[in-house]
Amino acid sequence: MHEQRRRTASTTLTSSERSSGRWTLSLAGFCLLALTGHPAAASTASVPTPDERVSLTGSDIERHERAAEQEVVLITGSTSGLGREVALRLAATGAYVIVHGRNHERGMEVVREIEEAAMGAASFHAADLASLEEVREFAGTILAEYDRLDVLINNAGIGSAGDGRQVSEDGHELVFQVNYLSHFLLTHELLPLIVDSAPARIVNVASGAQTAINFDDVMLEEEDAIGRAYAQSKLAQILHAFDLAEELEGTGIIVNALHPATFMDTRMVRRAGVEPRSTVEEGAEAVMQIVLEPVESGQYFNGLKATRAHDQAYDREARARLRDLSRELVGLDPVR
């Protein structure tokens, strides 16, 4: 139904800011950051007011009728860097891309670039992953405005929370929440729509930087523990992907995690004073492969190659502990 695929010709802003032969185009592309250091988070964003709405340009009716036949892709953190490049590449295949970020101006620039190039169609939705309430609102908007979701790419992330340990408005260690916990909640909320859209894919953009989760100090309150923040959050994404892949076996949903590329030439890396070792295009190639190509579920990729992740990712008890803890932290009932 046209009105369900995209029920409105405007982009709703919150209070802040594949699997199958249905897709046949294989693209070259690029990857996320494997940080062993701790670049500062992007803390400054152009944030719209709660009730601000932005109408998309062009023929809204024609665009959204065309979108009724398009596959829908949601990429978190797609206003810059890896996420932006993947958004442009997926739009070039004809997909309808839901662009997400905090910065309204950059988000609408991506939408305009997609639409002006007649590559596909797109909309922008703002949500701050440092707020679980905004994540719930964001998920609610997607469920209300779209009747399918073929690909979810959990890409957004920060390298560090700035100087020392910081907590979110929900009281959780900030890097753990932004990089992992909010994506856990978003995926949970959107999962019924994804299952209804099967065959579909979920991609967790993790990192080669992986540190075992200390379940006695997940929030990194012990002295000097903050140095584990990024690598712990990225390993959590891999555990989550493996857990979901097992849960969704037989549903037509393929779930994988990957380390796209090391120290890509992004603003985040440059801000940290780190010399880039790879390009955003190299990173995107790895992401596009596991979105578009025939791959098995429940794998971890280092670039284009399936490989073994940290040992803890294969520990069923650790995965169950993380799942139960995550449900508790985001306010979900325990699994019975």
Among the listed residues 146, 230, 300, 314, the single catalytic one is 230
Q: In 3D, which of 70, 56, 241 has the Cα closest to residue 148? A: 70
CA 191 → CA 19, 134, 248, 256, 319, distances in Å?
15, 17, 10, 15, 19
Q: CA-to-CA distance for 115 and 94, rounded, in angstroms?
A: 11
Residue 230 annotated in active site: yes
Residues carrying an active site annotation: 230
